[in-house]
Chain A
Amino acid sequence: MSQDSFLESTMRGFARAFSKALISEAVARQPGLLQSLDPRVRVIGMVALVISVILCRKLAVIAAVMALAIVIAMASRLSLWSLATRVWFVVLGFTGLIALPALFVTPGRTIFTLPGLPLSISAQGLGTAALLVFRVETAATFTTVLVLCTPWTHILKALRSLHLPAEIVTMLAMTHRYVFLLIETANQMFESRQSRTVGRLTGPEKRRMTARTAGALLSKSVDLSHEVYLAMLSRGFDGEVRLLNDFRLRAHDYVAMTAFIVAGCLAVWTGR
């Protein structure tokens, strides 16, 4: 590891978070199937399909639901390549790696023995690894499609209209807003430290520097919360949270909702 690569990798992580947020906002504004639906229908529909995938016990049915996820993504004008890089390859790399040993260690009927190695793949091992990878891929695809096609504020308003407490919804909204401000602040602190670093830092120096940055960020965060509170008071905040709920369900929302629920129920029924 180069002497300041931990700084660079942290800053790359910040940049990735910004990039993901910007892509989501751009995609959510495009015309498409999910974008044309009421946010409540999108949230309920996609979550219902995720739950149905978790309840499915047959690989073929999960594969069919995955095909449905791809159709929804294409109808919502999402780039399949961006889904592949954002979800499918990542899940395959992470969950695939976790599932790989299951091929060999799960007890059961041997279907293949690796030539020259004392390792054999069991039918049960192959079954469980495939179920895990396909299930995680499908569920992650639905969640990503929902997030990409729905502005964060609409997801929150949909959650509120589904009776999530107003305080929680407000905290989620404010946290999301200040995450980006604090990422920007932390990024500037790291950049300014990096620009003043000459020579090599030892391990303890790097740890102290990271802890000091985190500590300073904490102090700034608490000061920020005080400023936000004063601003809220100045606008007349009295401790009660009130949110507008101006969503209206139209005929095609009811049709889409019914279709999502029926597809989910069918998947659970055939995959039980």
Chain B
Amino acid sequence: MHIPDGYLSPSTCATLYAFAASGWYSALRRVKGMLAARTIPLISVFAAFSFVVMMFNIPLPGGTTGHALGVTVAAIVLGPSGSILAVSIALTIQALFFGDGGVTTLGANCFNMAIVGSLVAYGIYRLLSARSEIRSRRRVWAAAVAGYVAINAAALLTSVEFGIQPTLFHDASGTPLYAPYPLHVAIPAMMIGHLTVAGLAEAFIAAGMVSYLQRADIGLLRGIQDVPGTAPLTVDASRIASPARLWWVVGFLMLCTPLGILAAGTAWGEWSSADLANPEARAQIEAASGNQTVPSSVPAGLQKLSTVWTAPFPGYAPRFVKSQTFGYVLSAMFGVGSLMLVTLAVSRLARKTQAPESSS
């Protein structure tokens, strides 16, 4: 799953570096807020541990062996932020010092394995182990499932990154310039090995280690705040933006939403079946697409799917609102309100699932 240099286009590498950088930045801030001065030795030694675990040959059913990533145990013990940093550092050392994975693809590798792997592993483990006792058998199964799904999620992302290369980056003769296989080849080719070997290796090592820690070092399963010598969970209050200021910013952004009306034409790639049927809109699409010929009729699949879902606020304007500007503001308020409701529901659910653990 370690992508070497040369498999991904420069623009894909740059995009994934940007995604990874945002993950590293927020993870570093969060971990420093929790651990303060202890961050550096704990993350460093844990990164070294992840590196060494990646070298273990895990015996699998059928007589074969596989390598695990160790991201699941890192996420369980350090939490997602600490795991993102530790696994990213381990991947960086692998790429720079041992040539395992590329330099230009380091962002992609860290995004797939360290960031997505950690978040998926942590989310699934917390979900499946919610309300269970710290020594419960369910936690062992939760770690196994979390490990299996996390590795396969990272592999799926990697295969999608490979699979989009020939479509997006080819020369005039159609020769793919980077990874040569399209999605329908890249996804099965990548997933077969991960669904059968790598996913199992991660599942076995995660479950086995959780089972071992339940018997030998239970403190580690409670998270890093229980590790001996670790500072208690504290967050620098001055670093948190005040809610009042945040509301002003959100309000200002909502008032700015009608700015989109100033732009002429339709956003590229956001064409409806009506646009494709309209000769004037078709001419605009053709001009905006480097004079690529637009199909003479609306594609059958697009026509069929366009009637599946009708938005309540089509074009950011409810039908009963006459002013387009007011429609945009109203849509922004509706969108922000919906997101707040979802966030409240998720945080309430998270609080409920945390309660039994803190008491155990």
Contact = CB atoms under 8 A, between A and B. Distances in A.
A64 B61 CA distance: 47
Contacts of B104: 50-51, 54, 139
A155 B40 CA distance: 19
Query: Do most interface residues of chain B lie in helix, strand or loop, or is the interface mixed?
Result: helix
B211 A211 contact: yes
A13 to B, nearest CB: 5
Contact of A172 (B93, B171, B217): B93
B321 interface: no
Interface residues of A, number: 93
Contacts, number: 264
A93 interface: no
A146 B340 CA distance: 50
B37 interface: yes
A10 B28 contact: no
A214 B209 CA distance: 7
A105 interface: yes
Given A10-B55, A50-B5, A50-B104, A221 B49 contact: yes
Interface in A37-65: 47, 50-51, 53-55, 57
A48 B326 CA distance: 50
Contacts of B325: none
B85 A171 contact: yes
B10 A54 contact: yes
Question: Which of B7, B180, B227 has most chain A Cβ within 10 Å?
Answer: B180
A29 to B, nearest CB: 17
Interface residues of B, number: 78
B229 A230 contact: yes
A172 B92 contact: yes
Nearest to B25: A165
A20 B94 CA distance: 12
Query: Do most interface residues of chain A lie in helix, strand or loop, or is the interface mixed?
Result: helix
Contacts of B216: 215-216, 219
A207 B220 contact: no
Given A105-B181, A136-B5, A225-B46, A239 B37 contact: yes
A179 B37 CA distance: 21
A207 B59 contact: yes
A68 interface: no
A34 B55 CA distance: 31
Nearest to A58: B171
B65 A1 contact: yes
Given A6-B57, A175-B90, A143 B103 contact: yes
Interface in B52-88: 52-53, 55-61, 63-65, 70, 73, 77, 85
Contacts of A10: 55-57
B1 interface: no
B44 interface: yes
Given A147-B97, A155-B96, A108 B173 contact: yes
Interface stretch (B200-208, B267-275, B284-292, B350-358): B200-208
B316 interface: no
A144 B98 CA distance: 8
B193 to A, nearest CB: 12
A203 interface: yes
A175 B5 contact: no
Contacts of A178: 44-45, 48
A223 B40 CA distance: 14
Interface string B146-188: 0000000000000000000010000101111111110001000
Nearest to B37: A239
Interface string A9-53: 110011001001100100000000000000000000001001101
Contacts of B174: 107-108, 124
A6 B228 contact: no
Given A183-B52, A225-B46, A131 B5 contact: no
A13 B179 CA distance: 28
Question: Which of A50, A171, A219, A229 has most chain B Cβ within 10 Å?
Answer: A171
Interface in B235-283: none
Nearest to B209: A215
B44 A143 contact: no
B175 A218 contact: no
B117 interface: no
B132 interface: no
A54 B57 contact: no
B34 interface: no
Nearest to A211: B208
B59 A225 contact: no
B41 A228 contact: yes
Contacts of B61: 203
B199 interface: no
A95 B55 contact: no
7 contacts: A171-B47, A179-B52, A179-B93, A214-B209, A217-B52, A221-B49, A226-B41
Given A123-B173, A218-B220, 12 more contacts: A101-B181, A105-B185, A139-B102, A140-B5, A140-B102, A167-B39, A174-B44, A218-B73, A221-B48, A222-B217, A229-B37, A233-B37
